[in-house]
Amino acid sequence: MRTVGQTLKETREEKLLSLEEVEKSTKIRRELLEALESDDYKKLPPSTFVQGFIKNYAKFLGLDPNKLLAIFRREFSDKAHKPYVMDAFVHPADPKKIKITPGKVLGVVISLIILSFFAYLWLQYRQFVGSPTLIVDNPVDQMTTDSSNIIVEGKTDPEIKVSVNNQDIPVDSNGQFKTQISLSSPVNKINVEATSKFGQKIDVDRIVYLKTANPTP
């Protein structure tokens, strides 16, 4: 007499069906199907579940489930074959791997808020203990010019106070600043200073040479 596994496998092959097709239709994992067709009950869960697999598999193949279950009961003995719960049984085939619930969405939102809060605290701490950024694009150091007026411009962090030669100048929301100063001597020192709201300072010096017209002999 053919075993349950032999009957299932032979019928499936006669119908030219692959294990992947059976798995997709019955939602029984391939590992379990292979164990069923091999009559390898040590790799299957308890007999109650195995009987459910046999019933579904038999119906899918167009076989009489009751006849196969009767054969299975004669073959299978819980005492002789200790059931083994496979990982495939614990995690059955399910196309919906990730289930989104309102609780999960709320958890993600709360986590993002907490992360944003700590990021803000970190930035505030960095501003408190560190000096602000200060970049002077113009003038370049050791520059020579024949104009008595020169543009001083550059960039710093937002909300930073900037002064040029001790005179406060405006800073826009992006940290850009620009002003014009007059040169009064052949050698001019330009000091640009940035001060954070926590009192941290940084300054940059530039030396600019003013070319004067040669006196007429």
* Contact between residue 23 and residue 73 where contact means Cβ atoms under 8 Å apart: no
Which pLDDT tens digit goes with each residue over 183-192?
989 999 999 9
* Contact between residue 51 and residue 69 where contact means Cβ atoms under 8 Å apart: yes
* Structure confidence at residue 171 as a pLDDT band (50, 70, 90): very high
Mean pLDDT of 29-52: 87
Cα 89 to Cα 155: distance, rounded to the nearest angstrom = 63
Q: Kindly report the pTM of this predicted structure.
A: 0.40
The whole-number pLDDT of residue 91 equals 52
* Structure confidence at residue 79 as a pLDDT band (50, 70, 90): very low
The whole-number pLDDT of residue 77 equals 62
In 65-210, where does DSSP find H-type helix? 65-75, 87-90, 102-129
The whole-number pLDDT of residue 161 equals 92
150 Cβ partners below 8 Å, 6+ apart? Answer: 138, 139, 180, 181, 183, 190, 208
Cα 105 to Cα 141: distance, rounded to the nearest angstrom = 55
DSSP designation for 133: P
Identify the CATH class of 134-210: mainly beta
Residue 95 has pLDDT above 90, yes or no: no
Mean pLDDT of 26-52: 87
Q: Which CATH architecture has domain 4-90?
A: Orthogonal Bundle (1.10)
Cα 164 to Cα 170: distance, rounded to the nearest angstrom = 10
Mean pLDDT of 84-88: 50
The residue whose two tokens read 């530039």 is 206
The residue ranges of every structural domain in the chain are 4-90, 98-129, 134-210
